[in-house]
Each structure stands twice: as structure tokens, then as C-alpha cells.
Structure 1
Amino acid sequence: MEWALTSINPLTVSIFAGLLLLILFLRPKNSGKKPPGPNGVPVFGNLLQLGDLPHETMYKWKQTYGPVIWLKLGSVYTMVVQDAASASELFKKHDLPFADRKVPDVLTAYDFNQGTLGMNQFGGHWRVLRRLCSMEFLVNKRMNETTELRHRIRENMERWILEESAAARAQGGTGAIQLSRFLFLLAFNLVGNLMLSRDLLEAKDPESREFFDCMNKVLELAGTPNIADYLPYLKWMDPACMKRKMNKNLGRTMKISSKFIQERLNNRKAGKFQEKKDFLDVLLEYEGDGKDGPDRITEKNINIIITVSIN
């Protein structure tokens, strides 16, 4: 039995590796005209050539291949534009073909990318989100209407900082605090008042600490390179466990923020409506034709929009 296991495992690995290489090399190649670029190696392409300082490597390649370079990062083809004239031509004449962005695997957790402007695929749904955000959320009128609220939120933050510092000194400490957490609370409650007409978290609320910690982890994971983004056939393995960690932390943040949406839905069912419509009301009441965009915005996507706005 022991002999069988030791002989089968290398054989299985060899067969798997052989099939993988066969798929990679026999896959049809795009024969269309591409910009110049450095030759890569099998499987990894130019990924291993970038080095520790990719921006310096790109600059060196610019001297050899010109301002527009074609790279293959693993299985992902990438065009690098390194001067203003080429960038201007790209956005003026070829904007639509390059409108979509490659979505990192971790940002597909809970379909997070589908509720964001930055990562959503260009199309009707993206246009609806952009129109609602630009006309109903990021407008001077709404900002002017919340001037007093913003002053109150700032005063609350100052009070919380003083209380936290005093409590730390009372315990024999220096009075030092984690300022980033209070700035996060300020931003969270500011967005909360713009979108939901209320403060969302208090400094001493246990959920505020959990939300802060989880959101920090979400941001860290979103900015960490993931080998599965460049070698998509590894996604099912999640080799760096990044997708699993994102599901865990993003799930916690969305669970907390979903409470505020559910509370509003329950109030509306009971006939309790806001005196002035806020952005959440706009999202809940949106009705489209279902042809060039969604017929409505789901509760899940509303939750994502709120979470993204906080960031």
C-alpha cells in the first residue's frame, strides 16, 4: 500500500502538469496586431521579469519598445501606456474597448464588483449606478443640506478622542490613541448621514471595532497581489487563501451594514417614511425598464454601494 501511494502521487502530478502545458501551448493564439513587448517564458509570461520595482522595469522597456508595450502577465494580456500622447489617443479613439477592468479574484466575493463603479463591467447597470451617484449623492445641494450634520459628526469625533485619551491615561498609559479608527468612524458616519440620514456607529460600540478591523482587512486583501489573478486556472485552489479571507471579512462588514438597510425597509413597510428622501430612499425606489440596465437595484447591491462609499 505504501509503495502504491509513493508511485501514484508523482505519476498523478506528472499527468496533471503535462495536460496543463498541453492546454496552454495548444490554445488558439490571437493573431491580431499587437504593440511590441519583451518575450516572456512559458506559463508565467513576463510576470517574473517585472522584478521588485515594476515601474523601473517598465521605464527601461519603454526605451527599447516605445511608449506602448504589450505584456503577458501569466495568462493575462496587458497593454501598458507610458506617455500622454498615447494615453490621449487611447481614451479619445479606443475608450469603449478598454472600458472594462480586470477584476481581482478577491473582489468577486459576494459579487462585490457588481455593486461598484470602479470594478463593475461597463454597460447598462454601470450607467445606472453612475447616474444615481452623480445626480443624487455627490451633488452640492445634498452636501450643503448636511453642513450642520458634518459639524456635529466632527464634534462627536473630537469628544470621543478626548474620552479615549483620558481613559488611557486613567489606566496608567500615555494617553495615546489609534487615530485611524476615529477617522474611520467620522467617514463612516458622514456617509451614513448622506445616505441614510443617521449616525451608524458609536466609538464604544463593539460592532464599530469589528467593522473597522474587518474593513481594514478587506482593503489589505484588495491591494495584495494574488497569483490566481494571473494564472486563472489556480482560482479553484485559492493558493494564497485570499478569497477565503475576503469572504470572511467582507461577509462580516456586509452583515453589519445590512442591518441599517433592513431597518429602513421595515420602517417603510410600517408606513414610516423619511421627511426628506435620502440616497437610500432613491436606491430603494429606483425603477428601470430592464432593457438598458436593471429594473431595480437589489438589497445586496445597495449594501455593496454603502460599503464602497465608506472606503
Structure 2
Amino acid sequence: MEWMYNYVVWSILFSLLSLIWHLRWKSSYRSSKLPPGPRGWPVIGNIFDLGTLPHRGLAALKQKYGPVVWLYLGPVKTMVILSAGAAEEFFKNHDFDFSDRFVNVSMKSHEFYKSSMALGAYSSYWRTLKRICTVQLFSNKRINETVLIRQKCVDVMLSWIEKEVEKDASGGIEVIKFVFPTSFNLIGNLTVSRDLMDPYSEMASEFYSALSGIAECLGRPNISDLFPWLR
């Protein structure tokens, strides 16, 4: 009978915790004026509302709650934008309020993200970095000045692909292995006026494998991103 007693005790405890969570969620939701969204479950939130096909789950939520939906992915509060009009309102008319980006645990390990324009927090450093890129790299004048360099790098990449097709009778190749060194060579030609990488060199192969592994690790789902108390 001991197992029955433990079962009843844990069931009552879980029910009480769920009730307390629900009452706290209901009162905080009403007072905070959050966007509409499904209530979700304790601890896991709305993870199961997304289903096995999240894009379809979000489309269904849009039909029910509108273009802006509030979700809890675990304990992480998440606002989902589901229309072009809402996206324009957020990121064009209120871009200052929503300028920061979510940074997962993998990218925070050595804090390199702080020097990134894509992931760094809004600050004086970030504004300076953006100003330099806008004026020195992304202006129409600078882009037009580098047309010949970009064309040369693309032509070289096409010649690599043609040689690879001639070597492989099946005609199947991994284009990414040529796009990757071309991107680095473009950066090299723009900064130091020389190519940095040959796709057939051992160094290029090792570098490609290393960066592919890093990208895979950074993009891999991490449960501690949804449940911060596991970090």
C-alpha cells in the first residue's frame, strides 16, 4: 500500500502546484497586457502547441489569435510575429525597442557574440560598428567599386565547379565546398588584395570541416535554452 500512498501524495502535490501556477499566470497575464495566446502547461509551456510541424502549428495559432501571438517555450517568454504588417510595425516603426537578439547558450560560452553586429546587444559599440559597415561596406558607392572583384571571384568559383564536373562522371558535386572558399577569397581580395584559400588544399578542407562542426554545434537545439535553470 505504500506505493499507493506515495502516488496519492505526489498527485495532490502536482495538482496544487499546477493550480498555483495557473492562478499566478492568470493574474500576471491580465495585469501585463500581453498579446493573446494559448495558456500552456506548467514547466513545458506551449511547446506541444507547436506540434511536429511548427510552421503549421503557428499558422493555426495565427488563425485563432491574430498576427501577434504570445507563447511560453518552457519558461521562456516568446512573442511570435506572423504577418508582414506586424513585422513592419515592430522592426521599422519600433526597431529601437526590439533591436536585441536572442543568443543561445552555445554562443555565450566565450562571449564572442558581444563583438558581433548580428548578435551583439544594442550599445554605443554596436552603433559604431553598424555605422562603419553602413558607410564603408554597404553603401552604393562601395558596392559598385567592388563589382569587378566579386565578378572575378565568382568566375574562379565557376571554373572550379567545371573542373570538378569533368572529373566526376556522375556529375554530382557539393557546391558548398566551392562557395565556402569563394566567400573567404572575396573577403581576402577586398581586404588584402589576394586569395586566402584553395578548395583543393588540405588547409581548406580542414578549415571547412572545423567551421561546419562549429556551425552544427551552434545550431543544435539545447534544452538549457528553454529551461535556464539547467545551465
Partner of 1:130: 130
Partner of 1:73: 73
* Alignment pair present for 1:119 and 2:119: yes
* Residues in 1 aligned to 2:220 and 2:81: alpha-carbon distance in whole angstroms: 23
Match 1:207 to one of 203, 212, 216: 203
Q: 1:141: how far off? A: 3.3
The residue correspondences of 1:113-192 to structure 2 (distance < 5 A) are 113-165=113-165, 168=167, 174=170, 176-192=172-188
* Residues in 2 aligned to 1:163 and 1:177: alpha-carbon distance in whole angstroms: 11
For residues 152 and 74 of structure 1, do their structure 2 counterparts lie closer, same or farther at Cα, with a shift above 3 Å needed?
A: same
CA contact (8 A) 1:68 1:80 kept: yes
* Residues in 2 aligned to 1:155 and 1:37: alpha-carbon distance in whole angstroms: 51
The residue correspondences of 1:18-167 to structure 2 (distance < 5 A) are 31-91=31-91, 94-165=94-165
SS in 1 for 2:212: helix
For residues 178 and 230 of structure 1, do their structure 2 counterparts lie closer, same or farther at Cα, with a shift above 3 Å needed?
A: same
Partner of 1:240: none
The one-letter amino acid paired with 1:35 is P
* Residues in 1 aligned to 2:92 and 2:145: alpha-carbon distance in whole angstroms: 37
TM-score, normalised with respect to structure 1? 0.58
Partner of 1:195: 191
Kindly provide the CA deviation profile for residues 198-256 of structure 1, in whole angstroms up to 9, marking residues without a partner as x. Answer: 21111232111112122223333343332221111223xxxxxxxxxxxxxxxxxxxxx
Q: 1:162: how far off? A: 4.6
For residues 145 and 35 of structure 1, do their structure 2 counterparts lie closer, same or farther at Cα, with a shift above 3 Å needed?
A: closer
TM-score, normalised with respect to structure 2? 0.75
For residues 198 and 143 of structure 1, do their structure 2 counterparts lie closer, same or farther at Cα, with a shift above 3 Å needed?
A: farther
RMSD: 3.1
* Residues in 2 aligned to 1:197 and 1:178: alpha-carbon distance in whole angstroms: 27
The one-letter amino acid paired with 1:180 is I
For residues 124 and 208 of structure 1, do their structure 2 counterparts lie closer, same or farther at Cα, with a shift above 3 Å needed?
A: same
* Residues in 2 aligned to 1:165 and 1:83: alpha-carbon distance in whole angstroms: 43
The one-letter amino acid paired with 2:52 is D
* Residues in 1 aligned to 2:136 and 2:214: alpha-carbon distance in whole angstroms: 27
Kindly provide the CA deviation profile for residues 140-191 of structure 1, in whole angstroms up to 9, marking residues without a partner as x. Answer: 333343344334333433443455455x46xxx6565432211211122112
| Structure 2: tracts of 5 or more residues without a match | 1-13
CA contact (8 A) 1:142 1:194 kept: no
Q: 1:132: how far off? A: 0.9
Q: 1:93: how far off? A: 5.2
Q: Which has the higher contact order (CA 8 A, sep 6+)?
A: 1
The residue correspondences of 1:197-236 to structure 2 (distance < 5 A) are 197-235=193-231
The one-letter amino acid paired with 1:107 is M
| Structure 1: tracts of 5 or more residues without a match | 1-17, 236-311
SS in 2 for 1:110: coil
Kindly provide the CA deviation profile for residues 87-142 of structure 1, in whole angstroms up to 9, marking residues without a partner as x. Answer: 34434554333221211222224323222222111121211111111111223333
Aligned residues: 210
* Residues in 1 aligned to 2:87 and 2:147: alpha-carbon distance in whole angstroms: 39
Kindly provide the CA deviation profile for residues 243-295 of structure 1, in whole angstroms up to 9, marking residues without a partner as x. Answer: xxxxxxxxxxxxxxxxxxxxxxxxxxxxxxxxxxxxxxxxxxxxxxxxxxxxx
* Residues in 1 aligned to 2:141 and 2:77: alpha-carbon distance in whole angstroms: 43
* Residues in 2 aligned to 1:92 and 1:179: alpha-carbon distance in whole angstroms: 36
